Structure 1
Amino acid sequence: MDEKKTPLLEGLEAGAWPSFVTEIKKAAKTNPGAAALLQMLEKSYEEKRGHWKHGGIVGVKGYGGGVVGRYCDIPEEFPDVKEFHTIRVNQPAGFFYTADKLREFADVWDKYGSGLYNMHGSTGDAILLGTTTENLQPCVDELSEIGFDLGGSGGAMRTLSSCVGQARCEKACIDSTGIMHDLTMYYQNEMHRPSWPYKFKIKISACANDCCAASARSDLAVIGTWRDTLKIDNAAVREYIANGFNIEKLIRKCPTEALEWDQEKQELNVCGEECTRCMHCINVMPKAISIGSERGATLLVGGKAPVVKGAMIGWVLVPFIKMEAPYTEFKDLVDKIIDWWADHAKNRERISELIERMGLANFLAAVGLKPLPQMVNAPRSNPYISWSAEEVGKNG
């Protein structure tokens, strides 16, 4: 296939970082759609405007979502990308693939699509970029035959995502991959048949390090934690110190001053009531400090990227919940949250925006949760309001 000049795109290949342009060029050597995509992108850079048009619903039998329709607005100039639909494929929990399964996956996409992938999208799906309306149904059928299903799109439960959890991480407090698989099976109808005002995302991180970035990009984040006190092996602490570790620096960096070094006994102690389980001490002294024994999760509500309103970080909804199969307590809460949101939200209004509009008190009453101090998103900072010590003691 003849290569045409794309000087503006080639500028994106400069520097040390990998470039999507390089990857498209690889596919363009054998795929007309990928080659046409390069030329259309170059034209978009020249004209400073995109050439994907709005409108045009496309899908496959039995699914209301999972496919994002994409059409070029100048098909006469670029006929090989006049249709360039995206297929969202539900990924395995923790992104565990075998090499053989990935080869089967790639063979199907080479047969029906552009050969371009996004592994993985921000929702989590394996994104297949660029196929025709004619090829959609046979592509999805063959993906199903090798064990893959479509993910979510539109006003639906979006494809769940999780970190690797207990499969590879000693800090994991919950079985994040097991939870993700169970919830994916449970919410199949909500995922494949969009019926809500907008999207709803659940992401699971097995500890407060939040390797799934659940707190910032999911409407309901499940973050593994523990309820008792973290464990300290003081023999290992002393070994760290003997090798030059600065224990005073660690104590200074504890956000709630929960750690204390007993110089006389050469012991590190923790005040369990003050510890917020941020995991900084565990991260820097993994051989000496470890997670507690009574494990579960903290639930955060309201994380999202900016659309109707600005980006939001999730805030605490449930400080501690036991996450044990079959996760009935968690599912009941999710169902109540979704029912309230679906009944009251405007079009394209996320759960955090609805809570902000209608008030946290109304939301908590609807889902059957009692108000707790941990739920306060931003503590009062008005300097003109204060309380006396008697009032704090009386009301606290």
Structure 2
Amino acid sequence: MGHPCPEDMELTPLATTSGTQNLTAECRCPPKTAEYAPDGHCYQFFTAGPCQKGYYFSPDATQDITNFRRKYGVCRQLQECPEGFVFWPLDNVCYKKFTRGPCPKGLLLTEHEQLPSCRCGKDKELRAYRYENGKCYQHFTKGPCQEKGSLFLTNQICGCHTFLPHFHEETQQCYELDTVGPCEKGEVFRIKEKDYVAKCHCKEENIRYLNSSSCYRPFTQGPCPDHYFLVNSTSCMKQPCHRGYLYFPEHKSCHRIGTRGPCPEGKVVTFDFRTRPSVDGVSYNGLCVCEKENCRESNGQTICCEKGWIKYQGKCHKLYSQGPCRRGSWIAPQRATLGKEGACECLPGYSKQWNENNELECMPPIVIIAEFLNKTYRSTVQRRISMEEKT
């Protein structure tokens, strides 16, 4: 670093596309940094750098990759997220504030000087998440807790209480929501619809076979014999396709991977990448996906949405925005389409409930817990009144 280069650059061998030996040196920006053309200085990626408020310094995606002599960066605007969420520019995803999100263990995602940051400190907003080991953890997660069945609670200690929705009656322990917890294979421990406490439910896209204790993904072997795959909750089917072909149940036919097959124009046959072979087993289900990212069909033609946008209800909408969705939900990639189309999903931590008009709503965690505590309180009062009347 430094002389004979500028203070923010380093002396390095000259990059060349040829295989010939080159002993010439040049001044370049260090790794994870780039030059900002207007002032010629180097700045670290994904920081404020030379950018104005509300922007961050990012690699220039339009730069000619054949130009190895200089690596440039540009200022990009931070994407807007729903209230209580923080945009993480490294993967263009909105994460809930004060959760671990993309951060290393012991740090939580927050904002520092109006930029997304993984932090832990004694300041007011992080104090409630700080444990005695000096690290910060998300509430109601395993966090720093070593004892089985205990969670990191809001009073900064590890414990478990019977009134928490995380409490599992059979094991008398607490588990993180939306994890395997005390559940069997293919299940997840979560609060669903009108439940006030978490229970073991089949994961999305999984089904329970003949009332067994485990859930399986359709079109994988699951509980079926060799060379068979699970079709529905009651039956298995012999694998009808040759190697390199996938099954389309709606057409009851096999089609070669990478070909158009039964897919509309602009789409090709591919694996069901939502299925994880190491967890669910190999899937024989074929899907149609666009040859290009973020595509949608209009009048028989394939149209692509801009980066950071996704198709929903025939139009392009900004990812992780409320858009046409109800309050408490946002537009997120739909698993059934491998993220090519969007769907309205409840914000992380929110739960689905049916209102008086039989409409689906997304309720924040504090409402769910409050309703549970109120219900518990009312039942306790009723029991006491009943006992007093009897005495």
Bin for the TM-score computed over the shorter chain: under 0.3
Report the structure, 1 or 2, having the larger helix content: 1
- Pair member with larger Rg: 2
Question: Normalising to structure 2: TM-score of the pair?
Answer: 0.24
Report the structure, 1 or 2, having the larger strand content: 2
Question: Normalising to structure 1: TM-score of the pair?
Answer: 0.24
Kindly indicate whether structure 1 or structure 2 has the higher relative contact order, using CA contacts under 8 Å at least 6 residues apart: 1
